[in-house]
Amino acid sequence: MPVLSPTAVKRILIVDDNPVVRYVLHSLMEAKTGFEVCGEAASGLDAIQQAKELRPDIVVLDLRMPDMNGLQTAPVIKRALPSVVILLFTMFAAEISETVRTAANIDLVLRKPDGLDSLLNSIQDLIQSN
């Protein structure tokens, strides 16, 4: 897994086809963590373009999206930005085996039903462990 500096402000790209999910994630990430949400995307192709332009430290990526799903999008982003941390935040985490996660270059899979606090805690744990 890439190393994140615990002292630098983390830039996050939120990728989800649901505008309500993007809004809630954006608001909570900035309010509760102090991270900078540098962008939002609603599809895999948009996520790839924004990741290349914005160069985030972390990408929070949904699985099921228009044009490219998260498993197709993650490796393209990782090739362009090898040090980026990719978190798959999905309702369908049970469908993602460890082998699939690794093959797609996804650093961590989190279940949406576990809630936003789980996502925020996982990001903070990830940063503190590096």
Assign residue 83 a region (left: φ > 0; alpha: ψ between -120 and 50; beta: otherwise).
alpha
List the chain domain ranges: 11-129
Those residues whose C-beta lies under 8 Å from the C-beta of residue 4, and which sit 6 or more positions away, are 10, 57, 58, 85, 126, 127, 130
pTM surpassing 0.85?
no
Query: Can you give the pLDDT of all 130 residues of the chain as single tens digits?
Result: 555 555 566 899 999 999 998 998 898 887 766 688 999 999 999 999 999 999 999 999 988 888 998 889 999 999 999 989 998 887 655 666 666 656 667 888 787 767 777 777 777 776 665 4
Question: Is 40 buried (19+), middle (13-18) or exposed (0-12) by CB count in 10 A?
Answer: buried
11-129 adopts what CATH topology?
Rossmann fold (3.40.50)
